[in-house]
Amino acid sequence: MSDPITVAGLALAIAAPLDLCLKDVIALCQSQRNIDQELDAMIVAFNGLWIKTDAQLEALSAI
């Protein structure tokens, strides 16, 4: 039969890394919560820069 202290030690040894993993998963999920809005903002900014660059190239080619 297993020693109760060994079983308790094993349970505590498993609980600590499991707690850290769960905290990491929760932090990752929270950081990714607004990813759609952030990507939309990046796309809008990129499109704005593209339009500006296109206008500058057209003005430069007209010279």
Q: Alpha carbon of 20 to those of 6, 12, 25, 26, 48: distances in Å?
A: 22, 13, 9, 10, 42
Question: Rounded to two decimals, what is the model's pTM?
Answer: 0.54
Hey, what are 27's tokens?
């932090």
pLDDT the model gives residue 63: 85
d(C-alpha 27, C-alpha 21), whole Å: 10
d(C-alpha 35, C-alpha 12), whole Å: 36
pLDDT per residue as tens digits for the range 26-40: 999 988 998 999 999
